Amino acid sequence: MRRSLLGRLLAVSALVAACSVAATAWIAVQTTSGAIKQEQGQNLAADARIYDTLLDYAARNPTWDGVGATVRELARESGRRVALTTQGRQPLADSATAATAPALPPQASAVVDPLSVDTVLAARGTDGQGTAADRIDPRAVGPFRLSAADGKALRRTADDQVECLNRAGIASDVVVGASGRPRVQIVGNDPERALGTRCDLAALDEPTRSEQKALDALTELADACLKRQGREGVRLNSDLSWGDPSSSAVPGEAGPLVPRVPLPAPVPSDAPVEDATPSVVPPERTGENDRAIASCVSAARSEQLSSYVSSPALLFIGDEGGATLPGFDLSPANTARIAGAAALVLALTVGASVFAGARLVRPLHALTGAAQRMRDGERPESVPVSGDDEVGRLAAAFNDMSAHRARLEEQRKAMVSDVAHELRTPLSNIRGWLEAAQDGLADPDPAFVSSLLEEAVLLQHIIDDLQDLAAADAGVLRLHPGPVETRELLSQVAAAHQARAENAGVTLAVTATGPGPALRADPVRLRQAVGNLVSNAVRHTPEGGRVTLRAYASEEGDGAVLVEVADTGSGIPPEDLPHVFDRFWRAEKSRSRRTGGSGLGLAIVRKLVEAHGGTVDAASVEGEGSTFVLRLPGTTPPGP
């Protein structure tokens, strides 16, 4: 791949692309990072406030009816578009004032669900106070919300406790929770300081009738969940913990949902201060059973509160135009920076393209010039091969084509010369005999006429051979295939050449003992091909030799039929064997055309066999004889 033209082009493209991406990224970072950071900070704070406000609405209301006013007020304060839809994207409220509001984005900004709070947005919207461990909004109190009468009564009790603690020198204040239940908060968040006073701090721990009813219902739901798991029920405390209830708690307001750790018993008021601090704190129990209880309590709370809070809704926050981030104006410095980076990338692209294009075009120009010179008739020439890439392989292929064309041109010239020589000899003989007869030097007796007829027959034979070769080269050699029985065909060829073989003292025999394999071929053309082989074998076999014909099925299982012509003649030298099927080629250059043939017989054999879809091969041992084998497709399809 390293030496491949494609690989180099890919490398250049990757380099240009990398530079473009790097420049674009650098420009984007330099020109937009400040604006994006500022806008992100503002948007995140505004989004958190919007989310927290809508979460508070959902925790305090069982439906979203009437949320439109809150949504419009939030949009006015933040300057952004605020939209609420159901989880099926049915609109609930939208601050967009246009007649045709822009379509909402495919991804919601958040899901407003008081029973499954987004801890990140909730933490931002409540100044980092966070949410309960079970992700239920602490403002979702449901049936634990106190009535007005209960709230007033507990508030009076809480005010009395604060007054008592203040007299004891402990600063404290009353804090009202989401359910309306007040509690006393010690300044410094150190409740153990109040243990040594005579103030009745346990008066606020007793749940009201409505709170106890809600707590019992929650306990029943949690027990049902535990029983489905094969576990024992649990008794929930006022703060929804379980275990020893000996601690102050706000009924209905969930803590971390962990087992209660027993606190030490209160010490007498007259005891020393140092004795008010326990010396041993029992270890926290957080086993598998406690985790199962916490899970069931959380599921029970979600089930109990589901009818008191609004259903989950999709929150979409954007600008009035539908964009997610506002745009910004480019300063002159940023504009110049972008223009400079673009010019640098453009210059790099042009430079890399020119460099790669020059290396690519240079060898192509050489190839084009060589092809044009070849078209103009000049001698084909080679072009330099620059490497082992695609262009180099193209140049090597062009050089091979040029050399092959030169060889074909030489063969064409040699063939024209051979054809002229072949035709000149019989024509010269005929002309000589006719001129002698015209001058009265020869009598037109039967011998004279026979000599002219023999020369004319030789001339006609050469012309027929050339015509057959021309038709085969042009692909217009006509065949008339039909079923052929090979033994019968070989017998016909042997009978046709029997007289010539007897005159030469050569034994001509067919070795097949029964019907040979059948094939589908043109019987006339096939007899011509086999006859040329037999004629050539008889011509090159000395007196007393033998020429054998046989046909048999291929042993390779491909259904082919092999026709073999073997002789015991002089054989062919190894260096001449590759040329036996060339046109006008003769092993014995000293033989005349009258005795050695025209040199076209074996070339015609190859063309005729190839026209039948077969091949011809020759094997020879010098001094022992030669064997020619025709491989032809048979009528029986090859086995599986």
What is the tens place of the pLDDT at every residue in 485-521?
A: 888 889 988 988 898 899 999 999 998 656 667 788 8
Question: Which comes out higher in pLDDT, residue 294 or 36?
Answer: 294
The whole-number pLDDT of residue 505 equals 93
Confidence of residue 588 (pLDDT cuts 50, 70, 90): low
Task: Output 247 or 330, whichever has higher pLDDT.
Answer: 330
Task: Give Cβ neighbours of residue 430 (< 8 Å, ≥ 6 apart).
Answer: 452, 455, 456, 459
Q: Whole-model pTM?
A: 0.44
Read off the tokens for 414: 């040699």
Region 425-449: mean pLDDT is 78
pLDDT at position 280: 29
Spatial distance between the Cα atoms of 462 and 472, rounded to a whole number of angstroms:
15
Task: Work out the average pLDDT over 557-581.
Answer: 86
The secondary structure of 533-566, three-state, reads: HHHHHHHCCCCCCEEEEEEEECCCCCCEEEEEEE
Q: What pLDDT score was predicted for residue 590?
A: 46
Residue 467 vs residue 396, higher pLDDT:
396
Better pLDDT: 171 or 626: 626
Compute the average pLDDT of residues 293-311: 89
* Chain segment 60-100, per-residue pLDDT in tens: 999 999 999 998 898 888 888 889 999 988 989 988 876 66
Q: How far is CA 128 from CA 52, 55, 89, 396, in A?
A: 12, 16, 31, 75
The pLDDT value given to residue 199? 79
Note the pLDDT tens digit of each residue in 372-424. 887 787 776 778 777 777 777 888 888 888 888 887 777 677 667 766 766 77
The whole-number pLDDT of residue 252 equals 58
* Range from 318-332, 493-507, 608-622 carrying the lowest mean pLDDT: 318-332
Distance between CA 305 and CA 282 in Å, rounded?
A: 34
Where is pLDDT greater, at 246 or 551? Answer: 551
> Which of the two residues, 519 and 132, has the higher pLDDT score?
519
Report the Cα 269 to chain-centroid distance in Å: 80
Q: What is the mean pLDDT of residues 149-161?
A: 88
324 pLDDT band (50/70/90 cuts)?
A: very low
The pLDDT assigned to 185 comes to 83
pLDDT at 144 over 80: yes
Work out the percent of the chain whose per-residue pLDDT is above 70.
75
What confidence score (pLDDT) does residue 445 get? 79
Whether the pLDDT of residue 131 is over 60: the answer is no
Packing angle between helix 288-305 and helix 209-228, nearest 10 degrees?
A: 120
Q: pLDDT at residue 305 above 80?
A: yes
Residue found by looking up tokens 């006719």 in the block: 434
Q: What pLDDT, on the 0 to 100 scale, is given for residue 64?
A: 92
Is the pLDDT confidence value at 25 over 60? yes
Helix, strand or coil, per DSSP, at residue 238: coil
| Dist CA 151 CA 182 (whole Å) | 8
Average per-residue pLDDT in the chain? 76
Greater model confidence, 106 or 334: 106
Mean pLDDT of 3-9: 62
Q: Which of 36-40, 202-206, 469-473, 513-517 has the lowest mean pLDDT?
A: 36-40
Task: Tell me: pLDDT of 325 over 50.
Answer: no
Q: With cut-offs at 50, 70 and 90, classify the pLDDT of residue 326.
A: very low
